[in-house]
């Protein structure tokens, strides 16, 4: 396993990858020029062939904008970048925790202009070249920076999965303030070679002073260089000020238990005039020695996974597998040839149009030529008899039908190649109204075409989201926005032990129709018509999706159809129904899978109302109502016991216990008054033996029931969970069978329609 401790070895590998990427860079430059509107003919071709028309018809530019618009709609239109869900913590709180974490992390990301511009850069690269890398500058910052493909060098034959990636390099250019920011952090990474860093800053300072033309002796004092850079930082990032160009080299090392990615940084010897062998020469006036790393992690692991350093988003339209990094075929690649040909054809076509508008004369001598130049094409003008016009039938005739066919065929090819990103609905010549089945068939066909590239972007974007969220969960991060996110989550009640990346599943938020407006509206209309068939909660989600599809405004959709509405939950409704049975002395089973907090709070409120009514009536009640209150209290204790299983709810359990204890003290007072009343009525020193036996039996039964419930609660919970999973699996199978039946019915209906049309 190579350790890459030699600067020259790293330098040689970087130079080899740069050489191999140079021909690819030339091809990428041609694609960039075409989509930027550069004319198809070079200046040399224009001069040699005397070309009069040399323009770009911008068809490729327009398609590029449409393709990026599809990506904008998919990733930037939703109100959220992604949703977080967890399977840890109390079951009745997981939904609340997921909502809090999702809202807080997306609030920070949505208001970040840097992240928005990172997306725009990646979309442009996906459309033109099918690859868009993004790199994190340091281990703490959550927002990545988009990089050019030419600045991230990957070895040949690397698969898209990066499974066989041994090393890679990132080309970086740092200004003096940027380099100082990296090396002047409170917790400095020990891998930085500070001697070399200071020499680099001195070099930039000396070159900058030379540009300023100053000859002050004190300016060249080495100890003042860094203070001068900090004080005049704006000048040190000018266009003419030199930068420190480096190769940021990473390689994977399987060194025992500390396997991971190591890091090396060397100066770029081909961009620094005084650099040699990965460092600056001994003859340099700044005194650099050879074979020095600007940064090295040595045997220390810099990152566990490649995704913690660089993320890739692919929109690959290649047809040859296995799919490799350097074999990616993008929309720009597929459109280049035909769009370039179309531009040249349109130039020739316009030249012919201009030629057809010109006047030609037949002359026999130089004198006739001079007279022809003096002809004035005006109303009622005169022409010399010696001048003869060349009629249209004697001039070169362009085959207009062939030209129109060529332009149409090229346009057709362009549209077909662009269909992976952009879709064109089939416009029938008879202009008749289409049936719903025909519209849905076209929508399904368009969806399949669009999905070819967009599904890839969603999949690879998910890995970047996962790494971004991992950085948001970093406890001792130096990024202020990460600290803000953690503070908001803790303030909203999320436990600290849940703010770890392993506790969460990340799923990108998707829009209807894969970004196509026509498909989005068609699907939204279909869901709206079927809305009454869904449960109340999905109905609200459908209404929200329809509102977003119509307005294209996530904020307005949130305002018109908020996530949470004031309504009675199932737990509150169940508690209200159970209170009647409990007060009647009837048993009520303990239900699992509900919000026990809402359930207990509702029963405590009902019990407090009943106790208050008894107090207002003089504190006297009947034996049946007294036993009902005792039955209700036992049931409440059972659910408080379930809540007590969560160690984080100790304070809440104590609060509920205190409330129940105060109510039971009043109930005991009611019982004493009732006993005294019954003693007075019977004229005895004790209650009726039947009533005493009945009360004791009720108390003993309640205690036994409470003990049995606590012992069997865990077992019943497991059994019901298994039964629930089996029911869900059975429903899933039934749903798949129903979907297959519907597909068969649609195919049969389509076959019947085609048979009818053919007849």
Tell me the chain's radius of gyration from C-alpha atoms. Answer: 39
CA distance 251 to 604: 62
Tokens linked to 38 = 């550069």
Burial of 525 from C-beta contacts in 10 A (0-12 / 13-18 / 19+):
middle
Name the H helices within 530-649. 536-551, 554-560, 570-583, 596-616, 623-643
Determine the 3-state secondary structure of 504 from DSSP.
strand
Please enumerate in sequence order all residues whose Cβ is within 8 A of that of 407, keeping only pairs 6 or more positions apart, or say none: 342, 345, 346, 349
Looking at residue 712, its pLDDT comes to 59
Beta-carbon contacts of 553 under 8 Å, excluding residues fewer than 6 positions away, are none
- Coil/strand/helix, residue 171: strand
Whether cis (ω within 30° of 0) applies to the bond prior to 322 is yes
Least Cα distance to 502 among 80, 84, 106, 99 occurs for: 84
Residue 179 has a pLDDT of 87
In whole angstroms, how far apart are CA 545 and each of 73, 217, 476, 512? Answer: 14, 69, 38, 8
Per the structure block, which two tokens stand in for 650? 């100790």
Can you give the pLDDT at residue 108?
Answer: 95
- The CB-side HSE value for 144 (13 A sphere, CA atoms) comes to 29
Q: What is the DSSP string of 557-583?
A: HHHHS-S------HHHHHHHHHHHHHH
Closest of 544, 510, 514, 508 to residue 527, by C-alpha: 544
Task: Quickly list H helices, 213-323.
Answer: 225-231
Q: What is the largest CA-CA distance in the chain?
A: 153
pLDDT at 703: 61
- In this structure, what token pair is assigned to residue 76? 């930037």
Structural domain spans, the chain: 570-721
Task: Provide the token pair at 69.
Answer: 């618009």
d(CA 214, CA 216): 6
Give pLDDT, residue 21.
Answer: 93
Taking the C-alpha atoms of 358, 364, 367 and 370 in order, what is their torsion angle to the nearest 10 degrees?
Answer: 10
pLDDT at 666: 87
Going by C-alpha positions, the residue among 106, 247, 237, 235 that lies closest to residue 167 is: 247
CB atoms within 10 A of CB 108: 17
Tell me if 635 sits within 8 A of 588, measured CB to CB. Answer: yes
Tokens read off for 473:
């969960």
- Pairing assessment for the beta strands 295-296 and 388-389 based on DSSP bridges: unpaired
User: How far is the C-alpha of 333 from the C-alpha of 228, rounded, in Å?
Assistant: 48
The answer to whether 288 and 282 are in contact (CB under 8 A) is: yes
Q: Give residue-wise pLDDT tens across range 601-658.
A: 888 998 898 888 888 887 787 888 888 888 888 888 888 888 888 777 888 888 888 9
Q: Do residues 54 and 40 make contact, with C-beta atoms less than 8 angstroms apart?
A: yes
**Weakly modelled stretches of the chain, pLDDT under 50:** 214-220, 222-226, 228-230, 233-236, 273-287, 423-431, 443, 445-450, 565-566, 684-685
* 349 to 40, 41, 393, 413, 557: CA distances (angstroms): 14, 15, 19, 19, 49
pLDDT at position 165: 93
Is-contact 312 133, C-beta < 8 A?
A: yes
Structure tokens given for 729: 């699996």
The per-residue pLDDT for range 320-362, each reduced to its tens digit, is: 889 999 999 888 898 898 889 888 888 888 888 777 777 777 7
């Amino acid at each position: 396993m190579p350790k890459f401790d030699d600067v020259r070895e790293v330098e040689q590998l970087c130079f080899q990858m740069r050489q191999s990427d140079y021909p690819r860079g030339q091809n990428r430059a041609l694609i960039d020029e075409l989509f930027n509107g550069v004319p198809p003919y070079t200046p040399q071709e224009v001069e040699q062939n005397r070309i009069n028309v040399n323009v770009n018809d911008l068809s490729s530019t327009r398609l590029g904008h449409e393709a990026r618009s599809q990506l904008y709609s998919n990733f930037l239109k939703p109100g959220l970048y992604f949703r977080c869900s967890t399977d840890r913590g109390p079951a009745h709180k997981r939904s609340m925790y997921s909502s809090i974490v999702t809202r807080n992390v997306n609030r920070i990301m949505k208001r970040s202009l840097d992240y928005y511009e990172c997306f725009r850069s990646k979309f442009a690269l996906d459309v033109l070249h099918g690859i868009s890398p993004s790199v994190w500058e340091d281990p703490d910052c959550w927002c990545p920076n988009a990089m050019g493909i030419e600045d991230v060098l990957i070895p040949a034959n690397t698969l898209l999965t990066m499974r066989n990636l041994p090393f890679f390099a990132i080309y970086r250019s740092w200004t003096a303030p940027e380099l100082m920011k990296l090396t002047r952090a409170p917790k400095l990474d020990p891998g930085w070679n500070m001697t070399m860093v200071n020499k680099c800053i001195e070099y930039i300072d000396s070159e900058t002073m030379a540009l300023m033309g100053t000859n002050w002796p004190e300016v060249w004092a080495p100890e003042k260089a860094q203070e001068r850079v900090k004080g005049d930082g704006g000048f040190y990032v000018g266009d003419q000020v030199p930068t420190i160009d480096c190769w940021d080299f990473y390689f994977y090392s399987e060194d025992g238990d500390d396997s991971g990615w190591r890091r090396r940084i060397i100066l770029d010897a081909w961009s620094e005039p005084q650099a040699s062998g990965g460092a600056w020469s001994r003859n340099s006036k700044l005194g650099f020695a050879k074979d020095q790393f600007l940064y090295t992690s040595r045997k220390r692991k810099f990152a566990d996974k490649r995704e913690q350093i660089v993320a890739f988003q692919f929109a690959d339209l290649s047809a040859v597998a296995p799919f490799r990094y350097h074999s990616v075929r993008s929309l720009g690649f597929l459109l280049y040839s035909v769009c370039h040909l179309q531009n040249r054809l349109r130039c020739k076509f316009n030249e012919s149009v201009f030629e057809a508008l010109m006047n030609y004369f037949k002359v026999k001598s130089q004198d006739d030529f001079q007279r022809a130049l003096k002809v004035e094409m005006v109303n009622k003008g005169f022409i010399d008899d010696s001048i003869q016009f060349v009629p249209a039938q004697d001039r070169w005739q362009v085959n207009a039908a062939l030209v129109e066919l060529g332009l149409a065929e090229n346009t057709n090819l362009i549209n077909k190649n662009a269909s992976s990103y952009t879709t064109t609905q089939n416009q029938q010549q008879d202009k008749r109204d289409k049936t719903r089945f025909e519209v849905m068939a076209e929508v399904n066909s368009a969806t399949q075409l669009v999905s070819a590239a967009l599904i890839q972007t969603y999949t690879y974007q998910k890995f970047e989201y996962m790494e971004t969220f991992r950085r948001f969960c970093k406890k001792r991060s130096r990024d202020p926005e990460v600290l803000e996110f953690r503070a908001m989550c803790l303030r909203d009640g999320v436990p600290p032990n849940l703010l770890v990346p392993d506790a969460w599943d990340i799923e990108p938020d998707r829009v209807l129709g894969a970004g196509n407006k026509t498909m989005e509206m068609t699907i939204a209309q279909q869901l709206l018509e079927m809305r009454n068939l869904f449960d109340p909660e999905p109905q609200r989600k459908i209404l929200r999706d329809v509102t977003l599809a119509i307005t294209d405004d996530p904020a307005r959709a949130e305002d018109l159809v908020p996530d949470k509405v004031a309504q009675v939950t199932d737990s509150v409704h169940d508690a209200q129904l159970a209170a009647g049975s409990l007060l009647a002395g009837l048993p009520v089973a303990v239900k699992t899978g509900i919000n026990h907090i809402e359930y207990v709070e509702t029963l405590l409120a009902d019990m407090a109302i009943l106790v208050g009514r008894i107090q207002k009536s003089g504190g006297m009640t009947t034996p049946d109502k007294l036993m009902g209150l005792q039955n209700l209290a036992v049931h409440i204790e059972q659910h408080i016991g379930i809540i007590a299983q969560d160690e984080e709810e100790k304070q809440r359990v104590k609060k509920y216990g205190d409330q129940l204890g105060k109510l039971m003290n009043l109930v005991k007072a009611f019982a004493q008054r009732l006993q005294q009343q019954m003693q007075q009525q019977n004229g005895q020193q004790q209650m009726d033996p039947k009533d005493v036996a009945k009360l004791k039996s009720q108390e003993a039964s309640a205690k036994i029931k409470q003990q049995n419930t606590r012992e069997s609660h865990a077992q019943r919970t497991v059994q019901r969970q298994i039964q629930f999973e089996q029911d869900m699996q059975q429903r899933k199978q039934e749903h798949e069978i129903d979907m297959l039946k519907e597909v068969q019915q649609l195919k049969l209906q389509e076959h019947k329609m085609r048979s009818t049309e053919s007849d």
